[in-house]
């Protein structure tokens, strides 16, 4: 996958999610600011992406499919479908990278 940096939130998110679904962690990492805030707690971008990698390693075939989205400036709210149910997530983006993630669901990452 070729990384195209964009400041448009939805195309950037789709590229990030495509990288996660393809298990291309280097590309996924390029979309995550370091540090990132996860559920209000600062953590390294590497730890964040490693958490996603661990989830997918524990559940082979796990993928996220984008459902409804709402974009307002640098914020994205999304309903995701997964093999384990639905996930709801809110992301804050800056300069083409995720700076904050809040989520809830059966397959939170």
Number of alpha helices (DSSP H) and beta strands (DSSP E) in the chain: 3, 6
- Position 2 scores a pLDDT of 46
Is 1 a member of any domain?
no
Assigned domain for 3 exists: no
> Which pLDDT does position 71 carry in this prediction?
94
21 is a domain residue:
yes
CATH number at 69 reads 3.10.450.50
pLDDT of res. 5: 45
Which residue range forms the structural domain that includes residue 35? 9-105
d(CA 16, CA 62): 15
How many domains is the chain partitioned into structurally?
1
Domain-embedded: residue 4: no
Residue 42 lies in a domain: yes
Question: Over the Cα atoms of the chain, what is R_g?
Answer: 13
The one-digit pLDDT tens for each residue of the chain (109 residues) are: 444 444 589 999 999 999 999 999 999 999 999 999 999 999 999 999 999 999 999 999 999 999 999 999 999 999 999 998 999 999 999 999 999 999 986 544 4
């Amino acid at each position: 996958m070729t990384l195209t940096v964009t400041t448009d939130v939805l195309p950037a998110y789709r590229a990030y999610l495509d990288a996660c679904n393809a298990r291309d962690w280097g590309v996924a990492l390029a979309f995550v600011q370091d540090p990132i805030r996860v559920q209000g707690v600062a953590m390294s971008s590497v730890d964040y992406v490693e958490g996603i990698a661990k989830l997918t390693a524990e559940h082979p075939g796990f993928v996220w499919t984008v459902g409804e989205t709402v974009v307002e400036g640098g914020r994205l709210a999304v309903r995701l479908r997964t093999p384990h149910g639905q996930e709801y997530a809110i992301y804050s983006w800056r300069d083409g990278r995720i700076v904050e993630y809040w989520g809830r669901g059966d397959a939170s990452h």
